[in-house]
Structure 1
Amino acid sequence: MPVNETLSQYSDWSYTTAVAVYVLAMIFFLVEQSFGRHGAAAAERTRTRQLVGAGAQAGSTVVGDGAEPPAAVRPARSRAERMGRTGLALTVLAAALHLAALVLRGLATSRVPWGNMYEYIMAITLFAVVTWIVMARKYPVRHLSAFVLLPVVILMFVGGTMLYAVAAPVQPALQSYWLVIHVVAAAVASGVFLIPGVASVLYLVRAAHDRDSGRFTRLAPKLPNADILDRIAYRTTVFAFPVFTFGVLCGAVWAEAAWGRFWGWDPKETVAFVSWVVYAAYLHSRATAGWRGTRAAAINVVGFVLTVFNLFFVNLVSVGLHSYAGVG
């Protein structure tokens, strides 16, 4: 089918605008990270809010006729906190533009929008941002968003410049329903794996500072407790690992249908398998008392490095059966 050039152009504009809004959101998050109250100060502020709320509930009993229950008194938000909330709103806006770029690309080409490296990076970065928005709503880690958006912006910049591909139909070898199943599983897993990778790096920074207060004195005190970072890394990995496993298995089935074998030690297959083993080792070590904490976080960081290595080096440098695809 012919490509709809108008929708393709709108997709490119949405992509570029999303990157710009992500960068703007990063600035707001950096202000909150630099000047906001985090760590022990944030914990004390949360405790104060809880006590104030409890006091308001206790004092809401009607004492006399016409008595009004006192309204809950909330501490005023600081300027840095307001900047952080604005940054999160901008991130949601950028994610909406990001999603629009992906959907418009698919409509322009009349196929799933992850048929080349540019589109694949667009997909995995979107999944990473959506996962982080959920984590930022669930845990007190919004001020760390710049650390997550930085690799997202870098990946999108590289994808939109050096790896950009004009909207076009995919090659005949990729015209299979497995492109929908296998690649979307790999994209979801790769995108979600970005979150535990960043969280584990920050965990190592926080743990090093907790052991020796003279290390990372500028950054570590503003990080959440190591337990929170560990929980984020573990729960996102627990979600992504089964999806990644499903993607690997689907890839083997597709390989048998396309190339007549389930496994051939192709560079892409080999690195994906090593990554799978590393993440399995992380989950096992996280469940083992003697390997929790720093050791488990280090293993998770290795898994994330392998994921990035598989995305760029194996796709762009090595020669194998996956080289023609340019996707996961």
Structure 2
Amino acid sequence: MSALSDQLVTFATLAYLVAMICHAVEYALGNARAVAPAARELVGAGVGGAGDLVDAPAGPIAPPARVGRSAQRARLAGLVAVGITVLAAALHLAATVTRGIAADRMPWGNMYEFVLTVSFIGTAAWLGVLWKRPSLRRLGLFLTLVMVLLLAFAELKLFVEVVPLMPALKSYWFIVHVSTISFSSGIFLLGAVPAIAFLMRNGYEQGKRSFPYTLAKRLPAAAGLERLTFTLHAFAFPIFTFAVIAGAIWAEAAWGRPWGWDPKETWAFISWVVYAGYLHARATPSMRRNVATWLAILGFLTMLMNLFGVNFFFTGLHSYAGVD
């Protein structure tokens, strides 16, 4: 089972890579919307709204037949990318489950297993969002890129052989605390994707021609991306809060104190404060949406620091990374 899990992780990584390439093909083929010459003339005459003026393509107009074929190919590439992402998610889930079967426990005993679980939750949540809102399909390019990087890093740098659970982790609070922290971390991981996409698209809609211009002009509308960012974070934050509280209760039972400013505890608190600041800023009418979104991204960076930085560079009571 352990060897099968390792192979499935490799296949899942390759599947995510192929899905990412298909999404890139969709971007390369251009906008899936064909703009008729008559509509372009109306927009140029000032009949369309401000959003039409922003989205109107520049330069000579391609023949309608050619634009239509390009749009169809782009849509096909996007649909193929989604199908391969579903396959990758199935392989990803199978790899995580077989790892748990091999270890005869929940597969959260070290950093490698935790990354597998969190990244799968992010993918599963993305597929759920995509089921409800197919128009967001192009965000899959960023999601699959993140999955490729995380799984490749886990395989190359975090991998450890299957070992029994450490005695300090043998508690029912292990399931309660780690399951909720994994779930909320996976949703925060997904939430960072529309947050970054929003900043790119928002800059484009404001007329900025920065480096990601080609990507930004093909992303969904900024307002929808910003709402999705808020929805995901508002959903994950209470679960993350409960996970921190459960960890404190477990620490009281295991170490005789609920909080000791251990590096993991400290960075969890920092993440909680930053995400709370984001939600507060998002609820403040006078706060600009792009400023609030930067707080969401900062929160995700603190989560990465808690996952990777603390385990690699600090020593504490939570040193269960399992990395030599």
**Matched residue, 2:46:** none
Question: Which residue, 19, 37, 40 being the options, matches 2:13?
Answer: 19
TM-score, length of structure 2 as denominator length: 0.85
Decide which of 84, 96, 109 is 2:103's aligned counterpart: 109
Instruction: Supply the distance in 2 between the matched residues of 1:304 and 1:266 (Cα, whole angstroms).
Output: 20
1:245 is the counterpart of 2:236: no
Distance 1:325 1:177, change over 3 A: farther
Alignment partner of 2:207 out of 189, 196, 212: 212
Amino acid across the alignment from 1:212: G
Aligned residue among 210, 227, 245 for 1:231: 227
SS in 1 for 2:213: coil
Q: Displacement, 1:302?
A: 0.5
- Equivalent residue for 2:130? 136
Corresponding residue of 2:266: 270
Equivalent residue number for residue 65 of structure 1: none
**CA distances 1:59-92 after superposition (whole Å, capped 9, x unpaired):** xxxxxxxxxxxxxxxx987011111111101101
Q: Deviations over 1:239-269 (max 9, x none)?
A: 1111111110110011111111000011111
1:119 equivalenced with 2:113 (yes/no): yes
In structure 2, relative to structure 1, the CA distance for the partners of 1:306 and 1:17 (3 Å cut) is same
Which has the higher mean CA deviation after the structures are superposed, 308-317 or 120-129?
A: 308-317
Q: Which residue does the alignment assign to 2:179?
A: 184
The question of whether the paired residues in 1 share the 8 Å contact of 2:23 and 2:77 is answered with yes
Query: For 1:99 and 1:173, how far apart are their aligned partners in 2?
Result: 27
- 1:174 and 1:325 in contact (8 A); partners too: no
Q: Contact conserved, 1:33 with 1:144, CA < 8 A, in 2?
A: no
- The code of the aligned residue for 1:13 comes to Q
Is the counterpart of residue 324 in structure 1 residue 313 in structure 2?
A: no
The whole-number CA distance in structure 1 between the counterparts of 2:322 and 2:181 is 13
Specify the SS of the correspondent of 1:290.
coil
Q: Which runs of 4+ in 1 moved over 6 A?
A: none
Code of the residue aligned with 1:186 in structure 2: it is I
Q: Structure 1 residue aligned with 2:307, among 305, 311, 317?
A: 311
- Contact kept, 8 Å, 2:173 with 2:250, in 1: the verdict is yes
Q: In the alignment, residue 303 of structure 1 is paired with which amino acid? A: G
Conservation of the 8 A alpha-carbon contact between 2:27 and 2:215: no
| Percent of paired sites with the same residue | 44
Is the counterpart of residue 99 in structure 1 residue 93 in structure 2? Answer: yes
Give CA deviations for 1:15-42 in whole Å, capped at 9, x if unaligned. 111111110111111111221425xx48
Q: Is the 8 A contact 2:115 2:150 kept in 1?
A: yes
**Unaligned 5+ residue runs, structure 1?**
1-6, 45-74
Q: Distance in 1 between matches of 2:187 and 2:35?
A: 27
Contiguous gaps of at least 5 residues in structure 2: 37-67
Structure 1 residues 159, 325: closer, same or farther in 2, change over 3 A?
Answer: closer
In structure 2, relative to structure 1, the CA distance for the partners of 1:325 and 1:172 (3 Å cut) is: farther
Range that drifts further, 195-204 or 111-120: 195-204
**TM-score normalized by the length of structure 1:** 0.84
Are the aligned partners of 1:207 and 1:226 in contact in 2 as well (CA < 8 Å)? yes
CA contact (8 A) 2:111 2:320 kept: no
Partner of residue 292, structure 2: 296
Aligned counterpart for 2:196 among listed residues 201, 205, 214:
201
Equivalent residue, structure 2, for 1:158: 153
Output the amino acid matched with 2:243.
G
The 8 Å contact of residues 139 and 194 in structure 2, kept in 1 or not, is answered as no
CA distance in 2 between counterparts of 1:315 and 1:211 reads: 41
Give how far 1:326 is off.
5.3
Shift of 1:217: 2.8
> RMSD of aligned C-alpha atoms?
1.9
Size of the aligned set, in residue pairs, is 289
* Contact 1:36–1:81, Cα closer than 8 Å, also in 2: no
Question: How far apart are residue 276 of structure 1 and its match?
Answer: 0.6
Alpha-carbon distance in structure 2 between the residues aligned to 1:267 and 1:213: 40
Query: Distance between the aligned counterparts of 1:134 and 1:185, measured in 2?
Result: 18
Q: Which amino acid aligns with 1:205?
A: M
Aligned partners of 1:143 and 1:200: how far apart in 2? 14
